[in-house]
Amino acid sequence: MSVIRRLILLSCVTSAVIAAQSAPKDDSFFESLGGQVVKPQAVRTKKDIPTIARLADGSIVSIVMSDKDGKPIAQGSGFFVSADGLIVTNYHVISEGSSAVAKLPDGAFYAVDGVLTFDKARDVAVIKAHGKNFRPLTLGDSNRVQVGEEVVAIGNPLSLESTVSNGIVSGVRTVQDEGGRFLQITAPISPGSSGGPLFNMAGDVVGITTMYLKGGENLNFAIPINDAKLLLLDSSAKLSPLPNEPEHEEAKKPDADELPLTAEITSPAYHYFLELLKSSDMTFKVGTFACFEDDPQSTTFKVIFATLTDKDDLTVITSRFVNGVAKEPDGIFSGSVKPFAGGLFGTLPTLTNIKNMPSHETDAFEWQPDVLRVKTGFGKLLPGQLRISYEFEMQRSTGRYTEQGGVGDSTVSISNGKCIRIPNTQTPEETFRYFSQEQQPSPGDKAAPASGAEVKGLYLTSRPAGADVFIDGRKQPGQTPVTLPLAPGQYNLVLRMPGYQPYAGSVVVTASIQAQLDVQLKEKLNALGWAQVDSTPRGAEIFVDSTSTGQTTPARVQVPAGIHIVIVRLKGYLPMRRTVQVSEGGTATVELSLRPE
């Protein structure tokens, strides 16, 4: 073991910037993945530290590693380098553990599908998060870094997300025992920062923070980003499982980074959520927030569905999942909202039938920029009636929520916990901004509407839902059903969905009314995929779209590519169902726990 390695205080989960031996010659493959690189001739404007931190928001993640039992064992940092979910981090961050999740500061979690490529000697790895439309950072050229140059490090030390520190490059060191060159920096780094980005003052990533030396004040190191770029240029790289190396004794030191055990990571409810997320359950294409109790044994979580049906009308549905199975909605609320303080504000009355129940006439969901609140049962009481009330409140800045119920004059806490954003979904605020954005015409675009004119646009649906939308060759945000704020004119329209033939046509949008179009997609002939279906207990009969397959769990069922409803039935147990999307040639996993009748 080398001298430096013996001196590392945190060998398992720290941050580093690594300098490469030579710059990649061709970035075209990496750019095709949605990545961004700085061209040698590009002139980069110097930015201040707050600007760099602001532009990096949403691009830096905490990586949480878990063992085979789902227990978190370590945490590090990483950052997106492509829009389709490629994350650069340190190899030692992901070397141990059988599963991983990437967490953004806003609370959104993304399951890690596997490792694309790695260089163990240089302690660099590229992993793939499950999802799309991520915000990649721009990669600079670490060969241009000079001693004395200012740098900024951003990471998640000690679980303190998006911690910013600055310093200078104090030296470029070659350590043969450690695989090559390192950038020595004075920017402070701490446990949990391993794998985070090191920026130059143009806001470009020039390194990967990795380690600091015990007893050496401000003696920190980073791997040059060109080492990672070399890995990203390997077009032959294939996705593979996490290394899951045996735990080393060195990793058991008390100074190794460990994630505090929190309910959203350790509870069975959270693992049910991850399973549903990875199985492409349709619930999580339209849900907005998932809320988990602090109780580490909880099997229940709450989902808040919030849909802006047009610019002013918001519908919210709240529902619970128990053991991964959706229950009937707790409440359905709908009403108008207005922009306020950078967000949306509105009180949405209940749509539930409240006839002969005056105590529920005031039931409402309050949508506000800083808080979400549900209050039910606070209306007038009938003679002799006992008040039964319910309150839910979520602080949007932290995701923390409280839930309590009341009987008469007594109030009891039901649960406390945290809500997180469901990946790849839009909040009503994001949809509102999309509705409200000014249409700036580029060459070939239709003319934008006059300032102040209401944009009716196009309301587009498809059967099945979930198709990608292309207008005049440009991919649009979201999937069907979707409202597009198009200016008046005629547009070429294409819908694409795995397992279905592309739809191509044209649509005319007028200024006076909202255009509406419903498209029936046709399945591709011979476009097949698989559903891996299992149940507890096993031996349940498997039905796909209400038709028996003649197979029992566990079984691998061949189905046409597309969206299907899978149902399992076993005598003495309640039937369970799951909606899944099966891609052409792919496999969707369906695991259901049956409950006795």
List the domain boundaries for the chain.
3-232, 265-421, 437-520, 528-593
Overall average pLDDT of the 564-590 stretch: 83
* CB distance 222 to 155 below 8 Å: no
DSSP three-state, residue 446 = coil
Percent of the chain with pLDDT over 90: 15
Reported as a pLDDT band with limits 50, 70 and 90, residue 235 is low
**First-to-last C-alpha distance (Å) of the chain:** 61
Report residue 283's pLDDT band, with 50, 70 and 90 as the boundaries: low
Helices and strands in the chain, H and E counts: 9, 40
Least trusted range by pLDDT, from 69-73, 288-292, 312-316, 373-377: 69-73
> Is the pLDDT assigned to residue 571 strictly greater than 80?
yes
User: From its phi and psi, is residue 151 left (phi > 0), alpha (psi between -120 and 50) or beta?
Assistant: beta
User: 489-514: per-residue pLDDT in tens?
Assistant: 878 788 888 777 778 777 888 776 77
Confirm if 134 and 16 have CB atoms less than 8 A apart.
no
- Of 176, 255, 170, 179, the residue nearest 221 (C-alpha): 170
Q: Residue 210's CB: how many other CB atoms inside 10 A?
A: 35
Dist CA 377 CA 390 (whole Å): 7
Backbone dihedral region for residue 106 (phi beyond 0: left; psi -120 to 50: alpha; all else: beta): alpha
Both structure tokens of 419: 């809500």
Beta strands 587-593 and 528-536 are parallel
- pLDDT(139) > 70: yes
Question: Which residue did the predictor score with more confidence, 551 or 158?
Answer: 551
Rg (CA), the chain: 26
Confidence of residue 535 (pLDDT cuts 50, 70, 90): very high
Q: State which H helix or E strand residue 230 sits in.
A: helix 225-232
CA distance 425 to 433: 14
- 164-214 residue pLDDT tens: 888 888 878 766 555 678 888 887 776 667 899 999 999 999 999 986 544
Q: Which CATH class is domain 528-593?
A: mainly beta
* Residue 69, pLDDT above cutoff 50: yes
Q: pLDDT tier at 215 (50, 70, 90 boundaries)?
A: very low
Q: How confident is the model at residue 576 (pLDDT cuts 50, 70, 90)?
A: confident
226 within 8 A of 19, measured Cβ to Cβ = yes
Band (423; pLDDT cuts 50, 70, 90): confident
Residue 251 pLDDT level (bands cut at 50, 70, 90): very low
What's the CA gap between 105 and 119, in Å, rounded? 28
Provide, rounded to the nearest whole percent, the portion of the chain with pLDDT above 70: 77
Tokens of 263: 């309910």
Instruction: State residue 279's pLDDT score.
Output: 66
Helix (H) or strand (E) holding 221: strand 220-224
Nearest to 16 by CA among 93, 80, 72, 119: 93
pLDDT, residue 38, reads 53
Mean pLDDT of 359-366: 88
Tens digits of residue pLDDT in 290-311: 899 888 888 899 999 887 766 6
Pair 122, 92: CB distance under 8 Å: no
Summarised one tens digit per residue, pLDDT across range 7-55 is 332 333 333 322 333 334 445 445 545 555 555 545 568 899 889 988 9
C-alpha–C-alpha distance, residues 594 and 568, integer Å: 9
CA distance 221 to 200: 15
Answer whether residue 136 shows pLDDT above 90: yes
Nearest of 68, 63, 72, 65 to residue 266 by alpha carbon = 72
| pLDDT (0 to 100) of residue 41 | 45
Report the alpha-carbon distance of residue 481 to residue 535 in Å, rounded: 32
User: Shortest CA distance to 193 belongs to which of 228, 150, 166, 158?
Assistant: 158
- State residue 178's pLDDT score: 57
What average pLDDT does the chain have? 77
Same fold yes or no, 437-520 and 528-593: yes
Q: How is domain 265-421 classified at the architecture level of CATH?
A: Beta Barrel (2.40)
Q: Residue 439 has which token pair?
A: 């249409």
Class at the top of the CATH hierarchy for domain 437-520: mainly beta
pTM: 0.42
pLDDT at 249: 41
pLDDT at 262: 41
User: Domain 3-232 belongs to what topology?
Assistant: Thrombin, subunit H (2.40.10)
Is a pLDDT exceeding 50 seen at residue 261?
no
Say which DSSP state 538 is in. S
* Mean pLDDT value of segment 523-542: 83
Furthest C-alpha separation in the chain = 85
pLDDT at 219: 61
* pLDDT of 354 strictly over 70: no
DSSP 429: H
CA distances from 437 to 17, 55, 126, 152, 456 (A): 38, 20, 35, 33, 13
